[in-house]
Amino acid sequence: MNKVVVAAEALDLRRGIDYIGISANFVIHDGKGNILLQKRSQNCRDEQGNWDIGGGALEFGETLVEGVRREVKEELMTEALEIKLLKAYEAIRDNNGTPTHWMAFTHAVLVDPKSIKIGEPHKIDEIGWFTSANLPSPLHSQFYKSFDIARELGIVH
């Protein structure tokens, strides 16, 4: 394990709270205008019960693309067929009285829809395919930062 990671764990530092976290996010799509969203479980660190795109914290020494591939495999038990960086943004917000700060790098990820399965049932209550006309509710507070660019690029209809 890297010395920096060991030092952070020894100090009990928390990503996104005690230092800026880096997130490798993704908009899963089928290439036909549909996107896959996940309903966050009660075990998620924030916005439980809200629908969102996928993603997770980048690990030390991992590239963004490696992080996206790992998170897609962990969350949805499938392989990314194509990965394209869409947008980077800052997510500075309040999480139940605790200020958080993340740098989010959102990607479009093409997958085979038939291969999707929930890989982290402790974090994901439900998944579903959607278009802009039938989005579920409630949505994660940062959802539209990624969704809007996906819609502009024609990834979602």
Run of H or E including 44: none
Residues 6 or more apart whose Cβ sits within 8 Å of residue 33: 131, 154, 155, 156, 157
HSE toward the beta carbon, residue 1, CA cutoff 13 A: 8
pLDDT of the residue at 108: 98
Which residues of the chain fall short of a pLDDT of 50? none
pLDDT of the residue at 2: 62
CB-based contact 104:55 (threshold 8 Å): yes
pLDDT of the residue at 6: 59
CB-based contact 81:107 (threshold 8 Å): no
Closest alpha carbon to 9 in 45, 59, 78: 59
Closest alpha carbon to 135 in 36, 59, 32, 28: 36
Structural domains of the chain sorted by starting position, each given as residue range(s) with its CATH number in brackets? 15-152 (3.90.79.10)
DSSP tag of 62: -
What tokens appear for 132 in the block? 């802009």
